[in-house]
Amino acid sequence: MGNKLSLFVIFNQYDTEKYSGTFLRLQKILSDNLSQTKNKISVSYLIVDNRREDLPFEKIGDNVFKVGGNNSDREFSGLDKGIQELQVQGFKPDVVLCSNDSFLVYGWTFLEKVPVYNLVRYASRHNCLIGHIDTKEIPFQIYSHDVTEWICTNGFFIRWSSLKTFGSLVSLGMEKLSSFMPVEYKENEIFLSAAPLSENYRKMVIQWLTEEWHGKFQISEKTWEYFRIKTCAMINESLLSARMKERGIRIISYKDPIIMKSHWLKEFCRNLFSKRVN
């Protein structure tokens, strides 16, 4: 039992009507995925409710806890609250899975595609961030950070010892967004000329939110504040991976063969040694 891994899932939620049942769906996906290795791993959950910031920490089920969030910077400040709460409550998991209620908006999740135990096992032994890597294969830059590729923040694994000392997951707060784009809508000025964003990144943000995103919309005076909020979230997602890499935390795709090879090699050596002893 001493070698049993512990995984804590921080699940950030806000719109329980639009994303009804997503937490239960996540629980089932993980339960099904880990069914063959349930004796090797324990899973606990912390639901961070960003709509109810006043909620005290409480246990609401078997290894399921809930607490009010912090929606000042949407999911990123909500995840910050979850990380802080794990520390306050004295939890010491091996690995944390950070997720949110939009993890199934595209109809799939990598949690259904690969053995989750392997991801947790690898993350527990390496200073890395594991998830779905997104990229447009075009060079992007924010400040001096290379953000050409990034981990999608609707689901990523990271070692607890790395996460708890990382600092805030909020790279750009809403209060600083005015240095990137006007507070008031201006038809011919989406981003400020001095904004620390490469031209490619500016174009990508506009194209993504108005043409490619599942909730795409047109930029107007009416939608301007929403556009600013979504842009800030995109910048925070991009900068999180960049900041992790700059702190020596590797960014690894859930599909990377190194995760499966590492698991296979250790099992092979263990079985070989066992046979020789016997």
Provide the pLDDT for residue 16: 85
Is residue 269 scored above 50 in pLDDT?
no
Residues in the chain: 278
Provide the pLDDT for residue 267: 47
CA distance 57 to 67: 4
CA distance 166 to 143: 20
Is residue 100 scored above 70 in pLDDT?
yes
Q: What is the mean pLDDT of residues 9-21?
A: 92
| Residues 38, 2 contacting (CB under 8 angstroms) | no
By DSSP bridging, strand 58-61 and strand 41-49 are: unpaired
Is residue 151 scored above 50 in pLDDT?
yes
Q: How far apart are the first and last CA of the chain?
A: 23
* Confidence grade of residue 61 (pLDDT, cut at 50, 70, 90): very high
Provide the pLDDT for residue 15: 87
* Confidence grade of residue 270 (pLDDT, cut at 50, 70, 90): very low
Confidence (pTM):
0.91
Provide the pLDDT for residue 262: 53
Q: Chain-centre distance of CA 111, in angstroms?
A: 13
Residue entry with tokens 């290379």: 146
Where are the chain's structural domains? 5-172+235-277
Is residue 187 scored above 70 in pLDDT?
yes
Assigned CATH topology for domain 5-172+235-277: Spore Coat Polysaccharide Biosynthesis Protein SpsA; Chain A (3.90.550)
Provide the pLDDT for residue 2: 55
Amino acid at residue number 264: W
Counting residues of the chain whose pLDDT is more than 70, the rounded percentage is: 93
Is residue 189 scored above 70 in pLDDT?
yes
Q: What is the mean pLDDT of residues 113-123?
A: 95
Is residue 138 scored above 50 in pLDDT?
yes
| Residue 10 backbone dihedrals phi, psi, to 5 degrees | -95, 110
Provide the pLDDT for residue 260: 74
Q: Which is it for the CA torsion 225, 76, 25, 152, positive or negative?
A: positive
Is residue 278 scored above 60 in pLDDT?
no
Where are the strands (E) in the chain, listed by range? 5-13, 41-49, 58-61, 64-68, 95-100, 128-135, 141-142, 145-146, 149-159, 250-253
